[in-house]
Amino acid sequence: MKKEKTILFDLDGTLIDSTPAILESFKVTLSHFGSEIPSDKSIIQQIGHPLDIMFESIGVTPSKVDEHVARYKEHYRKVSKLGTSLLENAKDAVELASLHATLGVVTTKTGEYSKILLEHLGLMGYFEVLIGREDVIHPKPNPEPINKALSKLQKDKKECWMIGDTCMDIVAATQAGIESVAVTSGYASSNQLEECSSHICENALEAVKLIIKT
């Protein structure tokens, strides 16, 4: 059966919770370089942004960001599986979506690690494309990652949706000319999401149900 719809998923806060692995990797990295360690809240507020932007936002000198990112990735690789879990209803969301749409992942995480995590969590087989940070010049909220995913899938923008938990996901979708659904299961509040999205659901499963009915 030909699937007319395309659904692109964000990862952190949409399908997975890797907060423990992210926090640990930031703290180990900052300690390694003798950098000041901010509160967990300060780090969590930046999740969804690329790592270089996250490190700059918490006070790392721009000239030292690259070495911080490299050290972070070295540690994250070791703890990512143990420190990551599927969000409630995430597997159900992907399974249901796969019956009605072609699926992809568009994330600011490193694509290499994203694939490893999704394979570990038993979901990678559902996705026909995964666009990570290293695959684009301009990450979300720029539309480049979405456009690249659709190009690889050879899909036009009709009946294409993005599901994400931050306004970066929603703005990227809008700029790419596709529809979107924001979910409150991640790192942005309902009030923040209301500023950028007209479709807001509690989680990815509810978002998929909305898309199927639309």
Q: Say which CATH number the domain at 103 has.
A: 3.40.50.1000
pLDDT of residue 2: 67
Which among 79, 114, 130 is the end of a domain? 79
Structural domains counted in the chain: 2
Could you tell me the residue range of the domain that residue 138 belongs to?
5-17+84-213
Do residue 98 and residue 64 come from a single domain? no
Instruction: Using DSSP bridges, classify how beta strands 16-17 and 85-86 pair: parallel, antiparallel or unpaired.
Output: antiparallel
pLDDT of residue 103: 98
pLDDT of residue 134: 96
- For the chain, list residues with pLDDT below 50: none
Do residue 96 and residue 70 come from a single domain? no
Which CATH number do you get for residue 69?
1.10.150.240
Q: What are the catalytic residues? A: 10
Q: Which residues contact 175 (CB under 8 A, 6 or more apart)?
A: 141, 142, 143
User: How far apart, in whole angstroms, are the C-alpha atoms of residue 90 and residue 70?
Assistant: 30
pTM: predicted TM-score of the whole model, two decimal places? 0.94
pLDDT of residue 197: 96
Do residue 98 and residue 203 come from a single domain? yes
pLDDT of residue 3: 84
Do residue 180 and residue 135 come from a single domain? yes
In degrees and rounded to multiples of 5, residue 49 shows phi and psi of -80, 160
Which among 64, 79, 94 is the end of a domain? 79
The tokens describing 136, both together, are 């684009």
With vertex at residue 78, the alpha carbon angle to CA 74 and CA 82, rounded to the nearest 5 degrees, is: 145
User: How far apart, in whole angstroms, are the C-alpha atoms of residue 115 and residue 195?
Assistant: 31
Do residue 150 and residue 205 come from a single domain? yes
Asked if 157 contacts 6 with a C-beta cutoff of 8 angstroms, the reply is no
The tokens describing 48, both together, are 């969804």
pLDDT of residue 189: 93
Do residue 62 and residue 142 come from a single domain? no
Q: DSSP state, 179?
A: E
pLDDT of residue 1: 58
User: How far apart, in whole angstroms, are the C-alpha atoms of residue 68 and residue 21?
Assistant: 16
pLDDT of residue 156: 87
